[in-house]
Structure 1
Amino acid sequence: MRTVDIIHKKRNGEALSREEIDFLIAGYVQGDIPDYQVSAWAMAVYFQGMSARETADLTMAMTRSGDQVDLSGIPGLKVDKHSTGGVGDTTTLIVAPLVAAAGVPVAKMSGRGLGHTGGTVDKLEAIPGFAVERTKEQFLQQVRDIGLAVVGQSGNMTPADKKLYGLRDVTATVDSVPLIASSIMSKKIASGADRIVLDVKTGRGAFMKTLDDSIVLAQAMVDIGTEIGRDTLAVITNMDEPLGPSIGNALEVLEAIETLRGEGPAELTELCLVLAAHMIVLGGQASSFAEAKDTVERLLHSGAALEKLRQFIAVQGGDAAVVDEPQRLPQAAYRVAVPAPQDGYVARIDAESLGVTAMMLGAGRATKEDRIDLAVGIKLFKRVGDRVKAGEPIAELYMNRSEPEETRRMSERTVSAFAFSEAPVDRLKLIYAVVTKDGVRYL
């Protein structure tokens, strides 16, 4: 088998066999196939695409390239959730305790943030003492004991994906649906989940900017799950504005605690209940979505999910007292109110721009080597559709630096993320569609 023949075949729009895909990926990881040939193949995929079967074969080839987690020793169906990345997206910290409290085990591996999207691992590290690194035995035992563990991803999981993504990033082949879908799903499958729920973001603050593109990506990932026998469901959700009003690690932990108390923002709470309900159905603990939704609402309002969060924090070495005393979380030294420049209605909030502003404050990383300031970030006071008066605070900056020039610049960036209208503006739709192996159901 020759690499040049595989490139030629895909360049001409022909489907590759499983053996050809395995040969290419294994040879690339082992160093036998050079970057320039894999770059040519990736560009051919970019233009010619891949079938559902090819994409599933690519996913499994990347999955097999490194460590895989065996969760078979944990009773029940293990259900994982993945978000394609957003701003103010605190769902894992809320959904995981809800689902575990319902009796569906959650054994989750999460990543760190990069760019304008936050990482669950960084948020958890805002809790004093919380340990995101666990041995395999500790990880599995914790899920058996309390039904929930969230840890950092293994350094040797899907090395093919890491290597291929680095190449795609410098060869203009990142935004290829088969390559994106296989990248995401290879990590989920290597993590060992039996069932997968995907939160596919769409809009200004998402990787996929249009609803049509987001549905195409969701269908590709659901098709992968179907091809390899892992039930997969995708929910298409809005990221034209931040999901929750808090952007920043400690701020988002506080928001998760408030939500599990039943005091969280409406949009974040609703999406978490929807995602958790789908996970419970896939996990076999409810026969219908309506039944599952009733279950998670009861767990939220009874305090059972909050108690599961408290238990989860304590078992992973964190200070569980933060649940009742959130002032134990890292605190920013300065708070700066950002006033509305005019009367009117909020017509737009640029989620991506605010995510970048939070990163510039220190809440995120521009490069993998950057250190995060866990206390800083942005708290929004308005959503699209809200009425505002000139001078009224629309946001607050949480900062640990007080240089006047930086404060001015960050305030201006925050204001520029908002657009205003003199006429009333409708609120944005939260959930657009649900994608399953049976097709797309628009909501």
Structure 2
Amino acid sequence: MLLPQEIIRLKRDGKVLTQAQIAQFVDGLVNNSFNDAQAGAMAMAIFQQGMNTDEITALTLAMMNSGQVLRWPDIDGAVVDKHSTGGVGDKVSFMLAAIVAACGAYVPMISGRGLGHTGGTADKLESIKGFNVTPSIEAFKKIVKRDRLAIISQTTDLAPADKRLYGIRDVTACVESIPLITASILSKKLAAGLDGLVMDVKVGNGAMMNNLDDAIALAKSINRVSNQAGVVTQTVITDMNQVLGRSAGNAIEMFETVQYLTGEYRDPRLHAVVIKLAELMLINSQIATSEIDANQRINAVLANGQAAEQFEKMIAALGGPNDYLSQPWAYMPKAKIVKDIKVGQSGYINHMQTRDIGLSVVELGGGRISNTDNVDHSVGFDHVMPVGTKVSKGDVVAQIHATDEASANKAMAQYLSALSIGEHKADENPVIYQVINE
């Protein structure tokens, strides 16, 4: 057995680690024989030097087996999930999981917290008074079996090695690493005992992957490792060159989720991503036989309210209110300051520096600078005008939600500086780039 610093040295120097060396690192994350400095150094070495497929698979399986691995022998149906690499305003998981569960699949979704400039599904759910994102595994399994849906955060029982490494990556600038992203995502997902998985890999200036080549590389890495582990996996590459939907911030995104599920408002780009992922999940689950069949089922559960009912049932089952959809703001914090952000010139919104907007939410308190920070669930941006919108000087392009005037004014300036307005309308990026099956 090597000293931790010797394993770090091997990867720092570009060597291929053995399965035993990777297992020692993962064990060290759990038993603290790798301290925070060493774990951060190891993450940076992997970030800089990369890993081959065998190393990524070994890291994934070791982290998966660092805790409890769920099995669903008494469930008669497909156990499926979705995961996103994260972005700004990405609240897809909520409506997607509700739709797929309402169509008959079982969705035990284990979600992450905010990472870097991206928001976290678990943080958003904690906007809701009483909601418990860390139930016992027994309670989680009971809810999934009974209601077909539960969205929780990582617990100490599931992939604890990843839970520790995830937080360290966030504060050591080691987020955008294909091996670490692959192992982090799949260690949690495989530990949930899935039959099928659909991945949403974001690409663009608000994503971990800034260009299409990197996004395709990550998609193939995830597909390769997951399919080797026996979980049928496909990846959809979607755009993150602007805020997804019209909100960015925890409680504000939950409100947009309510609007979507109740039919009050469905942002077209957000809806396109939800539908494509739902189609694949239903086909992979053998609930639907084709895209047309899947679409009919999706539209039906949205129209008849079954998807909304499924979501509200989950909120109540995990400690939240039983009437969340009818009065969401009765159970979520509101920001003290809400102000319009007005544009200073006329033209077309041709570009949005999405990462900067995400970082502004973090700076407002809606994310973490240190992994021990508390999150202010009330802050963020709302009424976000999409790229391609024609505006006149003085038009409102978003609203800021903040705790005080100073932070609001700073965030407003940051938001406007993240926009590029031109005289002529620029070509827009597709919402969905491609589906990766290999």
Pair 1:181 & 2:178 matched: no
Equivalent position of 2:353 in the other structure: 350
C-alpha change, 1:306 and 1:243, in structure 2 (3 Å) is: same
Counterpart AA for 2:361: A
Deviates more, 1:308-317 or 1:64-73: 64-73
RMSD: 2.8
- How far 1:428 moved relative to its partner? 2.5
Q: Give the alignment's TM-score, normalised by structure 1.
A: 0.88
Equivalent position of 1:374 in the other structure: 377
C-alpha change, 1:44 and 1:357, in structure 2 (3 Å) is: closer
C-alpha change, 1:32 and 1:249, in structure 2 (3 Å) is: closer
Deviation readout 1:65-92 (Å, 9 max, x if unpaired): 2232333333322111111111111111
Task: List runs of 5+ in structure 2 lacking aligned partners.
Answer: none
Count of residues in Structure 1 that have an aligned counterpart in Structure 2: 435
CA distance in 2, matches of 1:14, 1:96: 41
Equivalent position of 1:388 in the other structure: 391
C-alpha change, 1:238 and 1:387, in structure 2 (3 Å) is: same
Matched position secondary structure for 1:104: coil
Q: Give the alignment's TM-score, normalised by structure 2.
A: 0.89
CA distance in 2, matches of 1:243, 1:48: 32
CA distance in 2, matches of 1:122, 1:57: 29
Deviates more, 1:3-12 or 1:305-314: 3-12
- How far 1:322 moved relative to its partner? 2.7
Equivalent position of 1:243 in the other structure: 244
Q: Is the 8 A contact 2:96 2:274 kept in 1?
A: yes
Q: Is the 8 A contact 1:10 1:41 kept in 2?
A: yes
Q: Is the 8 A contact 1:123 1:250 kept in 2?
A: yes
Equivalent position of 2:228 in the other structure: 227
Equivalent position of 1:54 in the other structure: 55
Equivalent position of 1:276 in the other structure: 278
CA distance in 2, matches of 1:39, 1:190: 24
Pair 1:400 & 2:403 matched: yes
Q: Is the 8 A contact 1:273 1:297 kept in 2?
A: no
CA distance in 2, matches of 1:169, 1:366: 8
Q: Is the 8 A contact 1:132 1:152 kept in 2?
A: yes
Equivalent position of 1:440 in the other structure: none
C-alpha change, 1:8 and 1:347, in structure 2 (3 Å) is: closer
Equivalent position of 1:323 in the other structure: 325
Percent identical residues:
39
Counterpart AA for 1:265: D
C-alpha change, 1:408 and 1:196, in structure 2 (3 Å) is: same
C-alpha change, 1:305 and 1:16, in structure 2 (3 Å) is: same
Matched position secondary structure for 1:427: coil
Q: Is the 8 A contact 2:115 2:175 kept in 1?
A: no
* The one of 267, 286, 289 aligned to 2:288: 286
CA distance in 1, matches of 2:375, 2:201: 26
- How far 1:179 moved relative to its partner? 2.9
Pair 1:312 & 2:314 matched: yes
Matched position secondary structure for 1:322: coil
Task: List runs of 5+ in structure 1 lacking aligned partners.
Answer: 438-443
Deviation readout 1:370-406 (Å, 9 max, x if unpaired): 22222222113411111000001111112232x3x43
Q: For 1:4-403, what aligned pairs fall within 5 Å after superposition?
A: 18-19=19-20, 21-22=22-23, 25-26=26-27, 29-30=30-31, 49-164=50-165, 175-262=176-263, 263-328=265-330, 329-401=332-404, 403=405
Deviation readout 1:23-80 (Å, 9 max, x if unpaired): 5544665566788988887677556644433322221112112232333333322111
- How far 1:435 moved relative to its partner? 1.1
CA distance in 2, matches of 1:2, 1:236: 40
Matched position secondary structure for 2:269: helix
Deviates more, 1:184-193 or 1:157-166: 157-166
Matched position secondary structure for 1:320: coil
CA distance in 2, matches of 1:28, 1:331: 38
CA distance in 2, matches of 1:358, 1:39: 25
C-alpha change, 1:178 and 1:128, in structure 2 (3 Å) is: closer
Deviates more, 1:77-86 or 1:278-287: 278-287
CA distance in 2, matches of 1:56, 1:113: 25
- How far 1:248 moved relative to its partner? 1.4
- How far 1:170 moved relative to its partner? 8.2
C-alpha change, 1:242 and 1:21, in structure 2 (3 Å) is: same
Counterpart AA for 2:411: M
Deviation readout 1:224-280 (Å, 9 max, x if unpaired): 011111111111111110111111122111111111123211111111111112111
